[in-house]
Amino acid sequence: MDAKSKAQQQAAGAALAAKRGEQDKSDLQGASRQMFDSMSESELEDMASTNRSDLPETAEGA
């Protein structure tokens, strides 16, 4: 699953870092906290690795 915006890609990266133990889970908030709780490490890797160059800052309607 590819990220739909730069903000979503960043949130996935933060959640992935917490899943891997590189960051404290308590540091997460908002979308990254939700992603941490609801997505697998593999799903987060896919979303966090999305190329950011063609993504909007935020998703339309967000």
3-state secondary structure 1-62: CCCCCHHHHHHHHHHHHHHCCCCCHHHCCCHHHHHHHHCCHHHHHHHHCCCCCCCCCCCCCC
Give the pLDDT score at 62: 52
Instruction: Please name which of 27, 22, 8, 21 lies closest in space to residue 43, comparing C-alpha atoms.
Output: 8
What is the pTM for the complete model shown? 0.88
pLDDT in tens, 14-60: 999 999 999 999 999 999 999 999 999 999 999 999 998 889 999 87
CB atoms within 10 A of CB 49: 14
